[in-house]
Structure 1
Amino acid sequence: MTEKKNKKDRVLSIRDLSISFETGSGIVNAIRGVRLDLFRGETIAIVGESGSGKSVTVKAIMGILSSNGKIDEGSIIFNYKDAHGEEKSVDLVKMSPKQIRYQICGKKIAMVFQDPMTSLDPTMTIGKQIMEGMIEHEKISHAEAKERALNLLTYVGIESPEKRINQYPHQLSGGMRQRVVIAIALSCNPDILICDEPTTALDVTIQAKILELIKTVQAEKGISVIYITHDLGVVAKVADYVAVMYAGKIVEKGNINEIFYDPRHPYTWGLLSSMPDVDTDSHRLFAIPGSPPNLLEKISGDAFAPRNPFALKIDFEEEPPIFDVGGQHRVCSWLCDPRAPKVSMPEQLRIRIEKMKKEDLANG
């Protein structure tokens, strides 16, 4: 998306969000000042290595942080229309988990989890699981809920819905279970759909079908989607806007073309370089050297500095601000400071990006 966005279409606005967890080893500062906006009908992908803070961020939105987690500061402003069509705005941080669960979750913001077997109740039929949210939130009759559940099963591509509605999760394939989870998420017509690694447990063919289903749902219903993933191949297929997270911070964000064709942060360079490529001459996949920092310890300077081959002296001393590099593109790296020495992305990545551009042009 390159068009100018209307502030009135902003459905979610995260500002200076900081989250910590109390553990037996000390306080873990898991989220450190996250800022992010989601607009109506837009798909944002939040990417990064395991432990970067992707899932914790969306769990804060859903009010499902674990009991040892605490939002230290910041706001999560959610804008929506109530049942009467009036514009409403709430700060989810100021709501209790119970309030979010009854007023927001499922009804206004829904989530598709990574493994459908852990999010579906094995003791309940899939029909009952689809229907319970509608009956609870919309106060409709059992008969109406059942009719809508059958329509939803058909909508998400499940054949013989009359048969499937009375079956249990273990009687369905992995792909069908994930379709059921999507049906449950859509049952109350949410404004936002959060997908946390929704295709990780599925084979490649089913992955593509699930991603296509979510895109179709979004286009038809005009909902906003947040993807949590480490798979940049998925990001390239679905996202309008990308936020790259590292050590609890967003270190680079921009529209899909800015991140894939003009990445500026060395961590993003590393992520893009580590994508598998069938045409590569190398017999080994690229891996970012080193390990993420221990968030139990105070971070001085840029958290990525110890793993960054292009790190400057200031990276070890002072945390970089967010630099506006044009368009929707924002980067948290001292390399973007006008005073910094000129550093170009690795040559192998430059060649790969040029190849991606040519392929995209050829595919229209």
Structure 2
Amino acid sequence: MEKEKVLSIKDLSISFQTSAGEVNAIRGVNLDLYKGETIAIVGESGSGKSVTVKAIMGILSGNGRINSGTIDFMYHRGEEEVHEDLLKLSKKEMCHRIKGKRIAMVFQDPMTSLNPTMTIGNQIMEGMRYHFKTPKQEAHEKAIKLLELVGITEPQKRMKNYPHQLSGGMRQRVVIAIALACDPEILICDEPTTALDVTIQAKILELIKEIQEKTNISVIYITHDLGVVAKVADYVGVMYAGKIVEKGLINEIFYDPKHPYTWGLLSAMPDLDTNDELLYTIPGSPPNLLNKIEGDAFAERNQYALNIDHRVEPPLFKVTDTHYAATWLLHENAPDIQMPMELKNRIYRMLGEVE
């Protein structure tokens, strides 16, 4: 059975006007999302992960400019299949038709997402009342069900609470309940567990996974934590300097990575069984996107860089039907360079644990 595509990003390019000049934050991103699937976008801070999803939501800051590209969103209105380029919609149309209703977002810090002057109940009901004119009693009952769904005990009592009366983990659950209030087709999670401790983090990830199984919603995860990715994703896009440099199914990225940047990210994950005294770090820092990038953006930090990397940007080479990587190492004339031995051993250990 062919999978149903719900979102397609093509050649997205975004820049920001700053006092120092123009920052080319997104330099041609292509990504597809299918129904019921979870995509994780990973990469260091500043690689363009959050800017990409803010473009989907229509919430780029005022100095942001879309230079090119389309974000095609497909959904059903009754029997009719609708295709809409989200970049062409006005702010008003995004508010009325898309934001919160068909595409919802869970942000990093629940305290900045919640209104401190409104009760939890009213904040969950607000979207239903605005988008669907749901009667108050019906919205109230659905809000209680949503609080139960996200694992909050005594939901009746919590409806009357204010955000400051809840713990961080509970607030994040409330934010998820608000995001799900209008039964959206897509849920975007922008590092939803960063501000939480590890045990709560695991529960929130489990929760989003359970909700996805029940509702068949599509999820986009933004994170720099590969441990999170391993738990939630079906498909992974690795981002560096405003481009996706490797994308593939979760097993392809974790067990058969091809891009030296992905090797670096996987090597930098803490591992209990490693013999190394020090944790691996990728040398150097990401390029300044104020400057025009010649060749491969990762070349300066890449110990396996070839001469061509400093001159010509690599295309995405096909590894399998689902796996692509933008590195000249995959070119037929490139020298045979394998991933570092320590990473290879780590992957063997990970495979052993899985089996």
TM bracket (short chain): over 0.9
2:30 counterpart of 1:35:
yes
Counterpart of 1:62 in structure 2 is 57
1:93, CA displacement in angstroms? 1.0
Counterpart of 1:190 in structure 2 is 184
CA RMSD of aligned residues (A): 0.8
Residue from 206, 212, 231 that aligns with 2:206: 212
Counterpart of 1:6 in structure 2 is 2
1:143, CA displacement in angstroms? 1.2
In structure 1, the gaps of 5 or more residues are none
Moved over 6 A (4+): none
Aligned counterparts, 1:1-364, within 5 A:
6=2, 9-82=4-77, 84-361=78-355
Identity fraction in percent: 68
CA distance in 1, matches of 2:155, 2:6: 33
Once the two structures are superposed, what CA deviation does each residue of 1:284-304 show, in whole Å capped at 9, x if it has no partner? 111000010000000000000
1:144, CA displacement in angstroms? 1.0
1:280, CA displacement in angstroms? 1.5
| Amino acid of the structure 1 residue aligned with 2:173 | R
In structure 2, the gaps of 5 or more residues are none
CA distance in 1, matches of 2:20, 2:337: 39
1:6, CA displacement in angstroms? 2.4
| Amino acid of the structure 2 residue aligned with 1:256 | I
| Amino acid of the structure 1 residue aligned with 2:6 | V
TM-score (normalised: structure 1): 0.96
1:98, CA displacement in angstroms? 2.4
1:74, CA displacement in angstroms? 0.3
CA distance in 2, matches of 1:28, 1:102: 31
CA distance in 1, matches of 2:79, 2:334: 51
CA distance in 2, matches of 1:242, 1:257: 9
CA distance in 1, matches of 2:316, 2:92: 35
The alignment partner of 1:335 has SS state of helix
1:13, CA displacement in angstroms? 0.3
1:283, CA displacement in angstroms? 2.2
| Amino acid of the structure 2 residue aligned with 1:219 | E
Aligned positions, number: 355
